Structure 1
Amino acid sequence: MTEIQRQQVNAMQFWGKHKDPLFDSYNFPVMNEAQREYWYRNKKYTLSKKCFGVSNLQHQFVGYIALRNIRWIRRISELGIVFDPNHINKGYGTDALKCFLKYYFENMKMKQLNLKVAIFNKRAEKCYENCGFQLQEIKYDEFEDQKFPVFEKDELKEYQQFFKKEGTILLTQYKHMCITKERYIK
């Protein structure tokens, strides 16, 4: 795992797509050269963000781990993980996150790592639990894809249980989880 490289952003354009419509918003968007450069610079040169590329044993770039809302004085931040859909369910997320936690707590000297995971994302939730994250609370928050037509399309009816609308805002339940340095050491 290394800090994200510019050529890796280009490689994301060739990642697979999730087949489950619930995960459409997790697909890496198609971007032109200027948009990719902006995305890279925003992740690389912003004090409140850091991004790390993940490669498998065959040196294929398969995902990235991102930190956002880094609070350097308090030594806490929020986690985000994105993997090429062609490389999920292979244990890469759990392996990468376990390695990353060592770096996060020992090298970066951080004290706590927070995350939120959509209630329907059982695969990611299992990964986080396997890495030592504990549930803090479950609450409704804005869904990433406000254009997701869950209440407009009959073929998405089975997913309505995960969502609600407040006015025009589409909400879903998220599990808020965290791991502290003390828990990591145990």
Structure 2
Amino acid sequence: MRRLLREDVDKMQLWSKHTEPLFFHYNFPKMSQGERDSWYKVKTVKWKKKSYAIENAEGHVIGYLLIRDIQWFRRESELGIVLDPQYMNQGYGTDAIQAFLHFYFTEMNMQAIRLRTAKYNARAQRCYEKCGFKVVEEKDFAFEDQYAEIFYKETAPDIKKLFTFVDGVVMTRYTVMRMTKKDYSHTVNSLSTKIMLECE
């Protein structure tokens, strides 16, 4: 892992696409040069947000990880991670998170990190639990993509039942997870981290 660079955004334009409708909103959007400039600034220039590129052994940018809503006084933030779909289910997400947690708790000296994932995304939750995150609660939040095409096309009942509409807002159930520095110290000996970190 390393600091996210502007040229990384251009490489992300070549990522593959999710084929499952529930994950379409994770597809990296096609953007103009100006839109890519703006996207990069949003992800990197704010005081309460930091972003990092994830590379594989061949040097390909296969994902990015960010922390947002950084509370510097409390030393806590929220984690987010996105991978190129063609590199999912190969252990990259777990390796990247494990490597980042080492940097986060030791180099940045943070005290806690939290995240939330859609309850239907059992694959992601298993990854986070493997990394040492603990479930705090389940709670309804506004869905990340309010205009997802799954809401405007004929959708299977098993997909529709995952969402509710409250005052015109699409809601779904999320699993909220958290890890403290103490939790990390208890699990770090069982983790195998093989990813090179160049976060600073």
Please say whether Structure 1 and Structure 2 have the same fold, judged by a TM-score greater than 0.5: yes
**Residue 156 of structure 1: how far off its partner (Å):** 3.4
Question: 1:155 Cα deviation (Å)?
Answer: 3.3
Judging changes above 3 Å, is the alpha-carbon distance between structure 1 residues 149 and 16 closer, same or farther for their aligned structure 2 residues? closer
* Corresponding residue for residue 182 of structure 1: 182
Partner of 2:102: 102
| Paired residues of 1:150 and 1:156 also in contact (CA < 8 A) | no
Structure 1 CA distance for aligned equivalents of residues 97 and 68 of structure 2: 15
Q: Is the 8 A contact 2:21 2:150 kept in 1?
A: no
Is 1:169 aligned to 2:166, yes or no? Answer: no
- Segments of 5+ residues of structure 1 without an aligned counterpart are none
CA distance in 2, matches of 1:42, 1:154: 34
**C-alpha distance after superposition, 1:113-167 (max 9, x if no partner):** 0100001111111110000000000011000111135455333332112111112
Task: Kindly indicate whether residue 17 of structure 2 is the aligned counterpart of residue 17 of structure 1.
Answer: yes
- 1:1-186 equivalences under 5 Å are 1-150=1-150, 152-186=152-186
- 3-state SS, counterpart of residue 99 of structure 1: helix
If asked which structure has higher relative contact order (CA below 8 Å, sep 6+), I would say 2
Q: Write the distance in 1 (CA, Å) between the matches of 2:65 and 2:10.
A: 16
Classify the secondary structure of the residue corresponding to 1:183: helix
| Structure 1 SS opposite 2:120 | coil
Alpha carbons 1:53, 1:64 under 8 Å: kept: yes
* Letter paired with 1:97: I
Instruction: Give the whole-Å Cα distance in 2 for the aligned partners of 1:71 and 1:152.
Output: 38
Indicate the SS of the match to 1:154.
coil
**SS, match of residue 73 in structure 1:** coil
Distance 1:110 1:181 in 2: 7
CA distance, structure 1, for counterparts of residue 103 and residue 62 of structure 2: 19
Q: Which residues of structure 2 form unaligned runs of 5+? A: 187-200
Q: How many residues align?
A: 186
**Bigger mean CA deviation after superposition, 157-166 or 123-132:** 157-166
Verify the 8 A CA contact 1:8 1:61 in the aligned structure 2: yes
How much identity, in percent, do the aligned residues show? Answer: 41
- The answer (yes or no) to whether the contact 1:151–1:157 under 8 Å persists in 2 is no
Amino acid at match of 1:92: Y
Contact 1:2 1:54 in 2 (8 A): yes
Alpha-carbon offset, residue 31 of structure 1: 0.8
Is the CA contact 1:139–1:173 (under 8 Å) kept in the aligned structure 2?
yes
Per-residue deviation, 1:59: 1.3
* Contact 2:22–2:150 under 8 Å retained in 1: no
Structure 1 Cα separation of the partners of residues 33 and 69 of structure 2? 26
TM-score by length of 1: 0.96
